[in-house]
Structure 1
Amino acid sequence: MPETGRREPGAPANVPAARPADDPRPSAPPELDYNGRRHRRAMDDATLWDMARRIPTALAQTARLAWSVDRRMTATILVCQVLSGLGTAVMLTAVSRALPHLTASDARTGLTQAWPALTVAVAAMATGSGMWILADWATRRLNPKIASAADLTLVDLHMKAELSAYDTEGFTDRSQAAEIGAMRAVDLADDAKTLTGGFVQLVSAATVLTSLHPLLLGVLVLSVLPRGLGGVIAARIDYRVHDRTISARNVRGMMRWWLTTSELADELRANTMRPYLQSWYRAMCDRVEGRELEGARPYLLVTLLAASLSGLFTLGMWVSLAALAVSGAMSTAIAGTAIVASQTAGRALNSIVRYGAVMFHHGLYLSDYHTFIGEVRSSATARGTTRAPAPRRIRLCGAGFTYPGRDEPALHPVTLTLERGEIVALVGENGAGKSTLIRMITGLTVPTAGSVRWDDTDLATADAESAWRHVGLVPQKNGHWPLRVRENITLGQPREHGDEGVWDAAGRVGMTEALERLPDGLDTLLARSVWGGHELSGGQWQRLACARAMYREPAVLVLDEPTSEMDARGEHLIFRELRAMARDRITVVVTHRLDNVRMADRVIVLDQGRVREQGTFDDLVATEGSLLGELYALAQDR
């Protein structure tokens, strides 16, 4: 990796020092750190009590989620874990009964007397192992169901949420935190099973030891405590390394996509960006690698110290047990059982420490997930039960909208009437309120002031889905859906007319010849970069979006900059088709190409969230001081 420049004394941290102008080597990437991300340094800042308190909550949330998706598999896991713990307890008890006979002077007689207890021990151990395997099978069946349920719930609620929810402060951050919770659901049941299994095994071993001799419980604690504390410290070291590299890894991952995608391949090569970007990417790889290596030494020291202390205490335990056995205070059988139980408890404790740290993190993100789900559900589009009809007239009665957290309205109260058969053009500079007005007309957003009525139906009290069935929308950013051509046109609408209706919609936007040239016609997959399908140009995607809206034959047709990427022929065809089909619907067009506004019956000019003027194109352009006239004159001077 090229050597980076040294930071001058007094220079700000995390900023690479400036290089001489003639130095051809690229500067190292700046240090990036997402200080505002949720749960930063959660493991470092949490006390053992915080972790212990969070884990039961995480387990309860996991259990509720598992129970909701598959009760039979959840119950199977719980029963198997209890039976596995009982198997361990029976095995240890049987061993304690067999050992006195095995240590008798006559080995043959002792073995004969011990075999019933040994048989029970083997059967109990086999039963415990079988229960663990069965629980593992049930978990593997349960995990994908939990992951799918969590993901589907999150996606579904995003699609149902009011659009205004997306504009609330911190919505994206909360959504991303909930996404992490949904993604971690993939291993949720497995981690919870291993953690609870460790608890069951530890309790079983401790119970048996206590029943054999009360002193053994204290000996057990001393033998496993150093290992447990070492595990917690080691987990914190692992987390600290993860926390210090998460920003670099995230940025590196984003950059990797940009470096390998075909979308930027032309620019990368033609502008000779490869040497710098390769050096940048290598620097980020080295930075992540270096910090992970830095954590290896303290991790080794902590692990060695914990192992040494555990070994010392274990040796002390064996010496103590030997002394008790020699003095006659404890039988040799009980001492042997204590050693076996301590090994069992040690393995169980390792699982508890390791997966306890994992479940602590699960608890944080699961809380985010459930909190976000509750928030989105409360803002879901459940406005009313009235079914909205296909409107002949749309009336805005003092309708305005203010986005959450804003003092200034995006759209001041507007009073307008739109009639079926009319083509209305919305014109205005960026930020004038055109998109907000479209959202209110189509019922995508409920006004924060006044009302929007489709005939006599107030959209604020109507079932949102029933209104949207009558809407055809071509937004500025339309979806390049990775589906076949047919589904890209019929998306969201039943195919009532078969392929004939699909070809008719394609013909209206001039896409017939282009679709016929595709290798599989309407069955061609439009996702070349992902699945090896075919790709369309930007203008062709816009035509397809217009075909999708026209196929719906909506009562309210709204087009927001529908021809920005089309050639002149395509643009002319779209607007000619709009005029031909205008009689049966209310048509609203947003465009900055003012020559296209001539075809509208009425032009509404917005300025800073207010309706500044409205009328026919010719009348407004001819009016002195008209904003439309000013904008049109500027367009002609280009």
Structure 2
Amino acid sequence: MTSPHDKTAPVVDAAHGLGERPSVPAARTGQPLPLPLPLPQPQPTAPPELDYNGRKHRRAMDNASLAEMARRIPRALAQTARLAWSVDRRMAITILVCQLLSGLGTAVMLTAVAEALPLLTTHDPRAGLAQAWPALAVAVVALAAGSGTWILADWATRRLNPKIASTADLALVDLHMRAELSAYDTPGFTDRSQAAEIGAMRAVDLADDAKTLTNGFVQLVSAATVLTSLHPLLLGVLLLSVVPRGLGGVVAARIDYRVHDRTISARNVRGMMRWWLTTAELADELRANTMRGYLHFWYRTMCDRVEGRELEGARPYLWVTLLAASLAGLFTLGMWASLAALVLAGTMTTAIAGTAIVASQTAGRALNSIVRYGAVMFHHGLYLSDYFDFIAEVGSMTASRGSARPRTPKQIRFEAAGFTYAGKDTPALHPVSLTFSRGEVVALVGENGAGKSTLIRMLTGLTLPTEGAVYWDDTDLATADAEAVWQHVGLVPQKNGHWPLAARENITLGQPHSHEDAPVWDAAGRVGMADHLRELPDGLDTLLARSVWGGQELSGGQWQRLACARAMYRRPAVLVLDEPTSEMDARGEHQIFRELHTMAPDRITVVVTHRLDNVRMADRVIVLDQGRIREEGTFDSLVQTEGSLLAELYALAQDR
């Protein structure tokens, strides 16, 4: 054990770690100090294994029986056809007709080959060719026509795909924008929305997959029909040649899916992390806090996991493929032996046997397409079903209330109005009775979760009360047209949009705009943004999105000023500001509240703020506590009242 006075006791070097103190001071020997040995750096902790257990269709294909897959694939085809029919009937009909013509071409080609082969096997090749050329010409024309119809179907699908993508995406986005806000609060809404979004994205893939799958069915049916017409036993011979390939294809598809399913979590999170590692928004933090080493290790670990699991799936895939190919080869030999036996027995001609071999190859290719794209359609079809289910669900929850069109309100009255979120037992806002009058500035104060945002939603008609009623003058908002109500509202929420639009559109957004920019500059001047906007490279035409080439970015406080300018440009009858100056400097904050006073006589103004010094400017203060009105009055009267919550919060703010 070492003593604190022992000259050889170990010491900690700030730069290099633990080392030995030299027994003779360096000043006496003139020798340099030996470099201390660095301690080994601790290995970073590997990221945890990730698995999205909550995914709705997790391991759906892996757990599905062949019978279930067979039942679901027709439904997926029907839903895809329904979507295609709704966006472009002409292209949908074109694809369908091309599929039928392609199958007809295959049937005609096989029949023509069956007619030509006997003539080609005569003792006189020239005479046989002279007799066979009409049938051969028909086979070539049928083959060319089949290829042409496939190209035409592909062209029609390429025209259809962008329309399907746009229609599915627009329907989903539009429903989200029109849905009642209460829809977002229903249990599992986000999960169902994400599943529907996946369905919308995969709708395009389904159109291609459906085309290839149905073509495979048509080709298989055509080959089987021709063979059966040539000889009844040939259908059994066909099954012997293609069934092993089909079963092998199903098993191989399951292996592919299992690998995909086991890596989807790592790939998704890796994709998200890649953006964070390469974006300029986090470049400062990443470098200054020396995060690069661990994040590179984390990212490489995820890459290794994905790569390793894909390599693990390569071996079973190889064995399954080899086994299926071996069985297919064995059955193909059996097919040829059966055909030879039938020919030798005199029950089948050589020409028909040759046609059977050609048809089996056609059927094999068709079956491969059916298995491959059937497995894909089964999985994608689950999400397409989610899409249609979600469309139906949210379609019944859009903001369709009544036809009344309220005018600019002189008063807004809460009559025992309260709100309870879906799935909650405790109201977010207990029944309250309040009146807001034109020309009045009202401040809402309360701790987090007190019910301020819920009250604002009810005040502006964004949410209808679950009990009681809210009136704009004599109009119950439950009977009013929602869009007509919102035409009179200007809202600056806590989280405002940094819209990737030109500066002008960021102010005029939601309102018609003439070619005259004077009102835009007036709104910008009211919030102190006019000078900054003039300094932008293209003034009001400057794109406010740094991630886009030529775009510019604003600070957090400037974005808040712009959001206030957007509300003021609307000149609303009901102006609501929820923490409008949380990121502004003192000058900007003062200017915003000064403008509120100037504009107050013409409107109902409600302000939510945690900066209680700003509450002084309000005509009335409403203090909420746990969903109830705790107190109400002027700022001065409340802070001087013993036991007042506002007085307590104000005192705490002053102590900071």
- TM class by shorter chain equals over 0.9
Distance (whole Å) between structure 2 residues aligned to residue 622 and residue 252 of structure 1: 56
| Match of residue 195 from structure 1 | 213
Indicate which of 535, 559, 571 corresponds to 1:553: 571
Indicate which of 224, 229, 233 corresponds to 2:251: 233
- 1:94 and 2:105 aligned: no
8 Å CA contact 1:143–1:188 kept in 2: the answer is: no
Secondary structure of 2:422's aligned partner: coil
Indicate which of 570, 577, 597 corresponds to 1:579: 597
Query: 1:22 deviation in Å?
Result: 6.4
Indicate which of 293, 296, 304 corresponds to 2:322: 304
| Match of residue 632 from structure 1 | 650
Secondary structure of 1:206's aligned partner: helix
| Match of residue 365 from structure 2 | 347
| Match of residue 310 from structure 2 | 292
Indicate which of 397, 401, 404 corresponds to 1:383: 401
- 1:117 and 2:135 aligned: yes
Distance (whole Å) between structure 2 residues aligned to residue 561 and residue 70 of structure 1: 48
Over residues 598-619 of structure 1, what are the superposed CA-to-partner deviations in whole Å (9 max), with x where a residue is unaligned?
0001000000000111111001
- 1:155 and 2:173 aligned: yes
Distance (whole Å) between structure 2 residues aligned to residue 99 and residue 347 of structure 1: 22
Secondary structure of 1:294's aligned partner: helix
- 1:505 and 2:531 aligned: no
Query: 1:498 deviation in Å?
Result: 2.2
Between 352-361 and 383-392, report the one with greater CA deviation. Answer: 383-392
| Match of residue 381 from structure 2 | 363
Indicate which of 293, 298, 301 corresponds to 1:275: 293
- 1:255 and 2:257 aligned: no
**Pairing 1:216-227 to 2, within 5 Å after superposition:** 216-227=234-245
- 1:612 and 2:630 aligned: yes
Indicate which of 533, 538, 543 corresponds to 2:561: 543
| Match of residue 410 from structure 1 | 428
Query: 1:385 deviation in Å?
Result: 1.4
Q: Which runs of 4+ in 1 moved over 3 A?
A: none
Query: 1:481 deviation in Å?
Result: 0.3
Amino acid at match of 1:123: V
Amino acid at match of 2:244: P
| Match of residue 72 from structure 1 | 90
Query: 1:254 deviation in Å?
Result: 1.4
Amino acid at match of 2:136: L
Amino acid at match of 2:639: V
Query: 1:496 deviation in Å?
Result: 4.4
Q: Max radius of gyration: which structure?
A: 2
Query: 1:266 deviation in Å?
Result: 1.1
Secondary structure of 1:563's aligned partner: coil
Over residues 213-250 of structure 1, what are the superposed CA-to-partner deviations in whole Å (9 max), with x where a residue is unaligned?
01000010010000000000000000000010011111
Distance (whole Å) between structure 2 residues aligned to residue 509 and residue 587 of structure 1: 16
Amino acid at match of 2:421: Y
Distance (whole Å) between structure 2 residues aligned to residue 369 and residue 498 of structure 1: 43
- 1:168 and 2:158 aligned: no
Query: 1:388 deviation in Å?
Result: 2.2
Distance (whole Å) between structure 1 residues aligned to residue 553 and residue 263 of structure 2: 37
Distance (whole Å) between structure 2 residues aligned to residue 263 and residue 627 of structure 1: 40
Over residues 253-277 of structure 1, what are the superposed CA-to-partner deviations in whole Å (9 max), with x where a residue is unaligned?
1111111112211111111010111
Over residues 542-594 of structure 1, what are the superposed CA-to-partner deviations in whole Å (9 max), with x where a residue is unaligned?
00000000000000000000000000000000000000000110000000000
Q: In the superposition, relative to structure 1, how do residues 497 and 634 fare at CA in structure 2: closer, same or farther (>3 Å)?
A: farther
Secondary structure of 2:424's aligned partner: coil
| Match of residue 222 from structure 2 | 204
Between 307-316 and 383-392, report the one with greater CA deviation. Answer: 383-392
Indicate which of 493, 503, 506 corresponds to 2:511: 493
Distance (whole Å) between structure 1 residues aligned to residue 609 and residue 516 of structure 2: 32
Query: 1:324 deviation in Å?
Result: 1.2
Secondary structure of 2:237's aligned partner: helix
Amino acid at match of 1:215: L
Over residues 374-425 of structure 1, what are the superposed CA-to-partner deviations in whole Å (9 max), with x where a residue is unaligned?
1101111001111122211100101000000000000000100000110000
Amino acid at match of 1:476: Q
Secondary structure of 1:606's aligned partner: strand
- 1:34 and 2:56 aligned: no
Query: 1:101 deviation in Å?
Result: 0.3
Distance (whole Å) between structure 2 residues aligned to residue 381 and residue 224 of structure 1: 55
**Structure 1: gaps of 5 or more residues:** 1-20
Amino acid at match of 1:385: S
Amino acid at match of 1:444: L
Distance (whole Å) between structure 2 residues aligned to residue 634 and residue 94 of structure 1: 94
Distance (whole Å) between structure 1 residues aligned to residue 491 and residue 280 of structure 2: 30
Query: 1:497 deviation in Å?
Result: 7.2
Amino acid at match of 2:472: W
Secondary structure of 2:408's aligned partner: coil
Secondary structure of 2:504's aligned partner: helix
| Match of residue 329 from structure 1 | 347
Amino acid at match of 2:534: E
8 Å CA contact 1:508–1:574 kept in 2: the answer is: yes
- 1:594 and 2:647 aligned: no
8 Å CA contact 1:556–1:587 kept in 2: the answer is: yes
8 Å CA contact 1:505–1:548 kept in 2: the answer is: yes
8 Å CA contact 1:223–1:313 kept in 2: the answer is: yes
Over residues 102-148 of structure 1, what are the superposed CA-to-partner deviations in whole Å (9 max), with x where a residue is unaligned?
01111111111111111111111111111111000000000110011
| Match of residue 54 from structure 1 | 72
| Match of residue 392 from structure 1 | 410
| Match of residue 243 from structure 1 | 261
8 Å CA contact 1:414–1:611 kept in 2: the answer is: yes
Amino acid at match of 1:203: V
Query: 1:531 deviation in Å?
Result: 3.3
8 Å CA contact 1:421–1:582 kept in 2: the answer is: yes
Secondary structure of 2:55's aligned partner: coil
Amino acid at match of 1:343: Q
| Match of residue 11 from structure 1 | none
Over residues 45-72 of structure 1, what are the superposed CA-to-partner deviations in whole Å (9 max), with x where a residue is unaligned?
1000000000000000000100000000
Query: 1:325 deviation in Å?
Result: 1.1
Distance (whole Å) between structure 1 residues aligned to residue 81 and residue 69 of structure 2: 18
Amino acid at match of 1:299: Y
Distance (whole Å) between structure 2 residues aligned to residue 146 and residue 559 of structure 1: 40
Between 489-498 and 72-81, report the one with greater CA deviation. Answer: 489-498
Distance (whole Å) between structure 2 residues aligned to residue 98 and residue 435 of structure 1: 82
Amino acid at match of 1:341: A
- 1:145 and 2:152 aligned: no
Distance (whole Å) between structure 2 residues aligned to residue 28 and residue 496 of structure 1: 58
Distance (whole Å) between structure 2 residues aligned to residue 126 and residue 250 of structure 1: 44
Amino acid at match of 2:367: L
Distance (whole Å) between structure 1 residues aligned to residue 406 and residue 174 of structure 2: 23
**Pairing 1:449-464 to 2, within 5 Å after superposition:** 449-464=467-482
Identity %: 83
Distance (whole Å) between structure 2 residues aligned to residue 544 and residue 283 of structure 1: 43
Amino acid at match of 1:126: A
| Match of residue 121 from structure 2 | 103
Secondary structure of 2:268's aligned partner: helix
Secondary structure of 2:547's aligned partner: helix
Secondary structure of 1:498's aligned partner: coil
Q: TM-score, normalised by structure 1?
A: 0.96
Q: TM-score, normalised by structure 2?
A: 0.93
Between 33-42 and 560-569, report the one with greater CA deviation. Answer: 33-42
Between 530-539 and 547-556, report the one with greater CA deviation. Answer: 530-539
Secondary structure of 1:478's aligned partner: coil
Distance (whole Å) between structure 1 residues aligned to residue 112 and residue 87 of structure 2: 39
| Match of residue 26 from structure 2 | none
| Match of residue 443 from structure 2 | 425
Distance (whole Å) between structure 2 residues aligned to residue 497 and residue 274 of structure 1: 50
